[in-house]
Amino acid sequence: MFRPAFIGLGLSLLAVPAGAEIVSRSETGFSLSFERSIAASPEAVLEAVGHPERWWSSAHTYSGDAANISLDLRPGGCWCEALPGGGVKHGEAVLVWPDRSMARFDAPFGPLQGIGADAVLTMTWTLVEGQAERRLRWTFVVNGPGSGAMADPVHGVMEEQFSRLVNALESGD
């Protein structure tokens, strides 16, 4: 059964990443943006992104355990979760371009699948000109009937996952 926690309640205890916002919203869609400084190398970012079982919250899974999540980082690769006797495809890699520090996924996570929404998660990690600092940025664009009403809870869930990835990069785990 789908875990109601997936749509994100009680996330106010989390630190808000710099640049986390709902960029736009309409009745049939919304766009989210998250951005934060990181010290990790491009290779470390891609390695971490490829292991969501290490940073995705178990509270936002069908199985209740993020260890059941896997991500095949190649075009057509599955962002999947193993379930007893089956599984769920949360998303699919459509672009993996390490030389351009970019990955993109068709990813109608959780309740977005149930309304037939299209959702694209784009991740980029770029060097700040003249500094050793890098910026990790996620954009999440959703379009589908009635999806605009889901912007706030989905923002909360995605903000938590973004923060968990950044924290994993900072801790080296």
pLDDT digits (tens, 9 = 90+) for 80-97: 999 999 999 999 999 999
How many separate domains does the chain show?
A: 1
Residue 4 lies in a domain: no
17 within 8 A of 35, measured Cβ to Cβ: yes
Residue 12 lies in a domain: no
Q: Is 153 helix (H, G, I), strand (E, B) or coil?
A: helix
Span 145-156, average pLDDT: 96
Span 107-134, average pLDDT: 87
Instruction: Flag whether pLDDT at 8 surpasses 80.
Output: no
Q: What is the domain-level CATH number for residue 94?
A: 3.30.530.20
Report CA-CA distances (Å) from 7 to 24, 52, 151: 19, 18, 10
> How far apart are alpha carbons 111 and 102 in whole angstroms?
26
Residue 7 lies in a domain: no
Per-chain mean pLDDT for the chain: 88
Where are the strands (E) in 110-173, listed by range? Answer: 118-127, 134-143
Task: Tell me what pLDDT residue 39 has.
Answer: 86
Q: Percent of the chain, pLDDT > 70?
A: 86
Task: Tell me what pLDDT residue 10 has.
Answer: 32
7: left (phi over 0), alpha (psi -120 to 50) or beta: alpha
- Structural domain of residue 131, as residue ranges? 18-171
Span 134-150, average pLDDT: 95
Span 136-154, average pLDDT: 96
Instruction: Flag whether pLDDT at 51 surpasses 90.
Output: yes
Residue 143 lies in a domain: yes
pTM recorded for the entire structure: 0.86
Task: Tell me what pLDDT residue 49 has.
Answer: 96
For residue 70, the cross-strand partners are: 80
Residue 1 lies in a domain: no
Span 11-25, average pLDDT: 65
